[in-house]
Amino acid sequence: MTTDYGADQIQVLEGLEPVRKRPGMYIGSTGPRGLHHLVYEVVDNSVDEALAGYCKTITIDLNADGSVTVTDDGRGIPTDVHARTGKSALETVMTVLHAGGKFGGGGYKVSGGLHGVGVSVVNALSEWVEVTVWRNKKEHLQRYERGEAQGELSVKSGADSQTGTSVSFKPDQLIFTETVEFDYSTLAGRLRELAYLNAGVDITFTDHRLELLKADEPKINRYFYEGGIREYVEYINKEKQPIHPDIIYVTGEKNGVQVEAALQWSVDAYSDNLMGFANNIRTVDGGTHLEGLKAVLTRTMNNFARKRNKRKDNEPNLAGENIREGLTAVISVKVPEPEFEGQTKTKLGNTEVRGIVDSLIGETLSEYLDFNPNVVDSILEKAIQSFNAAEAARRARDLVRRKSVLESSTLPGKLADCSSRDPAESEIFIVEGDSAGGSAKQGRDRRFQAILPLRGKILNIEKTDDSKIYKNNEVQSLITALGLGIKGEEFDSSQLRYHRICLMTDADVDGAHIRTLLLTFFYRYQRALIDQGFVYIACPPLYKLERGRSHTYCYSEQELQRGISALPANAKYNVQRFKGLGEMMPTQLWDTTMNPESRTLKKVEIEDAAEAERIFTVLMGDRVAPRREFIETYGPKLNMADLDI
């Protein structure tokens, strides 16, 4: 550390240096999420070629050496010399931040890669990158190592009329210290999503890592959907019972903004599932396109309710959440000049999109409903039932009060609250049963840790309507203790009383069931809790391995076996299996599961929203047949010896 602070201490990072210095700024993290982001950046470029109408097929290969190859049959990255840099356009795109065909200039009409850092960031964070471009009947090849071009662009003639680009790269272990191994299912989820969003694009995904697969043949999946987002809604609703078999499909363009939407209501769903995309990017935090969709649905359905005498003049309008009950909708907008809030692009900010979505969808939806009066009646009947149930549940509003000195606290009696009033540092452990609750209450740090014991198994809210939810004592305790408000209302994180909600259940079958019911509750009642990362799963140990006065805690069977094999051959030891949290002493529970210094918490996240939606419907829904099929398909793949039954 120097005590001088002058011009010499001001660093100017040139070229791709800033990316290697602060990779998190560009790809979010250097963990698995950032690693997979590299593939998405390259694939997005190929998809942009498809959006521009020049590319039909994209192939992605996970190679045996840990590298990835993405090939498309688009126009190929330009290879002529760039006037400003004096290098080929290919080398400029690969080595200069904020260089690309997406900042105006007519290269692309719309594109997903807004920040122009895409492929150059992949180059900076890779051990090596090889780019092959087929263009003008020539094959151009260039290699880069950690962002630096290795020699000039080599050109071979005789590539026939083939055009396109192939990018191969191997992530740099110096940057991705946690892992450089790609997860097939994570990538497959995103590629499937892209194929749905871009009807007619043919994506082939192959895994050549035979050792990892423990197979003789590569694993190949093809994603090709002529129906686009209509097929996406069909896929999400596969296990549900639709109110109307036809998916309502809207497509149109206004002022350069393309809008595509697909909607279907289901009889056996009690919450909505709206998925918004802007320029192929999933907008988890919503934005103006989703606001426009919600507004037009509420207005149109209320107009029809009056027109068809489903609501009398003296009765109030149906609320948006009543109308959207049971709705699955995918809306995809393509905006020429998108304004995203934040680098992660999770909220669309263009104000003009709201009105465009409203007018385009309003027109088509009204026309469809005019010609299908039976469908309108069924949707409205479901909405009115939901409205009545919500009215019956209004009393839950009175239960949801924040504790304060002036008002009497209506928090549940069995909640052992913490003394801190700051939600950001407070955490609540939802525990199974009173015995575990007793140990947890004695072992906790009462300054910032609250305990809520639940009696028995809570209600499965996947198959219950709202009025029953609010009558259930355990659910009522949860809503009140956490400060959740009413189901379906916009989530207000300022009302949340704890910013870490930890599910702490026994390590047995019943514990797993209770944890699943709780996750179903959070997913369906207030999904924003999971989306914004407030829900965690505590990991209590399964075994205590004692030898003399020393002991270690083991969190899995494998860890126990490793612990035993590390002991001397003739050592005497004792293994205690914890069947329930109630069996643990308060100090043990604190040391292993609750102490922030030594515990392990798993954060609950949603990687693939469509798949999560489908799995909750299959496993927790009303219909038995899909669940049985799921068990018959995946049951044989389980190792029965590992199951705790």
Which are the catalytic amino acids? 432, 506, 508, 510
Residues 6+ apart with CB under 8 A from 273: 236, 327, 328, 329, 609, 613
Q: Which of 241, 489, 240, 265 is nearest to 365 (CA)?
A: 265
Q: What is the 3-state secondary structure (H, E, C) of 53-70?
A: CCCCEEEEEECCCCCEEE
Residue 437 is given by DSSP the state: H
- How many degrees, rounded to 5, is the angle at CA 514 between CA 513 and CA 515? 90
348/283 Cα distance (integer angstroms): 7
| 634 torsion bin: left (phi>0), alpha (psi -120 to 50), beta (else) | alpha
Residue 462 is given by DSSP the state: G
Contact of 637 with 501, CB cutoff 8 Å = no
336/110 Cα distance (integer angstroms): 5
Q: Which amino acid is located at 144 in the chain? A: Y
336/103 Cα distance (integer angstroms): 10
Residues 6+ apart with CB under 8 A from 522: 501, 529, 530, 535, 604
Residue 416 is given by DSSP the state: B
DSSP, collapsed to helix, strand or coil, labels residue 569 as coil
Count of all residues that appear for the chain in the document: 645
- How many degrees, rounded to 5, is the angle at CA 64 between CA 60 and CA 68? 30
φ and ψ of 587, to 5 deg: -65, -35
Structure tokens at 261: 């939407």
Angle, helix 229-236 to helix 609-620, in steps of 10 degrees: 30
Residues β-bridged to residue 254: 257
Tell me how far apart the terminal alpha carbons of the chain are, to the nearest angstrom: 59
φ and ψ of 584, to 5 deg: -90, 145
Residues β-bridged to residue 75: none
Contact of 126 with 30, CB cutoff 8 Å = no
Residue 242 is given by DSSP the state: B
Q: What is the 3-state secondary structure (H, E, C) of 572-636?
A: CCEEEECCCHHHCCHHHHHHHHHCCCCCCEEECCCCCHHHHHHHHHHHHCCCHHHHHHHHHHHHH
Structure tokens at 537: 């799963």
